[in-house]
Each structure stands twice: as C-alpha cells, then as structure tokens.
Amino acid sequence: EAQVTQNPRYLITVTGKKLTVTCSQNMNHEYMSWYRQDPGLGLRQIYYSMNVEVTDKGDVPEGYKVSRKEKRNFPLILESPSPNQTSLYFCASSLVGGQGGGSPLHFGNGTRLTVT
Amino acid sequence: AQSVTQPDIHITVSEGASLELRCNYSYGATPYLFWYVQSPGQGLQLLLKYFSGDTLVQGIKGFEAEFKRSQSSFNLRKPSVHWSDAAEYFCAVGYTGGGNKLTFGTGTQLKVEL
C-alpha cells in the first residue's frame, strides 16, 4: 500500500530535550516536506526536499533541522524543543516535475508533539 | 507571494442539504488548486485538483469544485451532504516554478446535523 509513515503519532517531551520525528514513504517520491498545523493558521511549511541531499527552508524553519540521506526518509529534528513548537506535524511527499509543481501531496497521519 | 483565504471557519449543514465551501486565492499567474479533507486523527486526503482545462473538476466522495479566474475562486461543492462528510477542509494553491510547495488556507470545519 502506498503510504507516508510518521513516527511517533504522539510525543510529549520537555524543553531542550532533542527529539526526532521520522518520516518514510514507499512511493519513490523525490519531493518530501514537513508542515506544522496550528489552530487558525492552517498548515505552514517547515522544510522541504526536492531530492536526496537537497533540502531547503520553508516558511517557518526556525528551531528545526532536516536531513535527506535516502530517498524514502526525511526525518525532522528538533535540537532544543521549546513550548512554541507544540503542534501537529505532517510529513508529505509527491513526485517532482510533470506540470511543474502540480503534483498532489500525499500526507502521513501526523505527529502530535507537546513540549512542556 | 501566493495566499489562500477560506473565509468560513465553521459551517453547519443538515444531512442531505447542499454544501459550498469557499476558497479565494491570490496569485498572478494560473495556479494549481487543490482541496484536501482531514478527518479527526487523520492526515490530509486529496479530494480533487485543478491544473488546467475544464474549470469544473470532479473529485472523490461526490465532491466537485469550479475554478473561476475572474473571481480568483475555487469553491468546493457537494449536492447532498452525508454525516460522514463532517471533517475539516483545506484549500491549497501551488504554482509553476514553485517546486512542489503548496500554500494552504486556514481550513473550514464542517459539522453535519442529522
């Protein structure tokens, strides 16, 4: 089954304790991205990757890191989490090319992070 | 920069009634437009998309949307709502040369009364 898998689904941590949220897709998609979802703000892009070893900042990258060492994986790293990073996080993937950006995103089921 | 506005935060309709969710975008060239649905505890599922051509597009679950360039709108419609349609709906826009980035609206929460 084609899917984007995120882990964990729920995570509670304390300020400053480094954490990683994993994301893996089995569709051979070049493009992967992380979004955070906050009430009243919709989804905002954190980082994205057009292919292996190619990553770039989205709209709200502060406090986050990513890496893309393999095509299928795109982990999100919070080196020193703070309470304002409490949010619902989504990983997404899609093909690159075709209509130059019109490929729909496939989303994971989300990771709810609470930082106390 | 492109932006998306969903003016209705919450909408309540009765089961069997028709539905229209509004979406307006701001972008100079022809955008790529999407509607996604998010059920509680789930990720976002693609309902339909518009790239070019026919301005009325059909999607899954009986939804359709119409692209109106003159109004910069891409409203989502369904003739008869089912209780299982209760969810949050997001409109999103992408554009040529924007990579695969989508800009999302803030969402519309749909409640269905039985």
As to burial, measured by CB atoms within 10 angstroms (0-12 exposed, 13-18 middle, 19+ buried), residue B60 is exposed
Bridge partners (DSSP) listed for residue A66? A76
Does A99 have pLDDT greater than 50?
Answer: no
Question: A-B interface: how many C-beta pairs under 8 angstroms?
Answer: 73
For A82: left if phi > 0, alpha if psi spans -120 to 50, otherwise beta; the answer is beta
CA distance B91 to A90: 16
**In sequence order, which residues have a C-beta less than 8 Å from that of residue B99 and are 6 or more positions away?**
A31, A48, A50, A96, A101
Does A100 have pLDDT greater than 50?
Answer: no
- Binned at pLDDT 50, 70 and 90, residue A98 comes out as very low
The least confident of A90-99, B23-32, B51-60 is A90-99
What tens digit of pLDDT does each residue of A20-54 get? Answer: 999 999 999 999 999 999 998 999 999 999 889 99
Please check whether residue B35 touches A, CB under 8 A: no
CA distance A27 to B40: 25
Residues of A in contact with B98 (CB under 8 A): 101
State the DSSP H helix or E strand holding residue A35, giving kind and residue range, or none if neither: strand A31-38
* Average confidence (pLDDT) over B82-96: 92
Please report, as a single letter, which amino acid is at residue A114: T
pLDDT of residue B98: 65
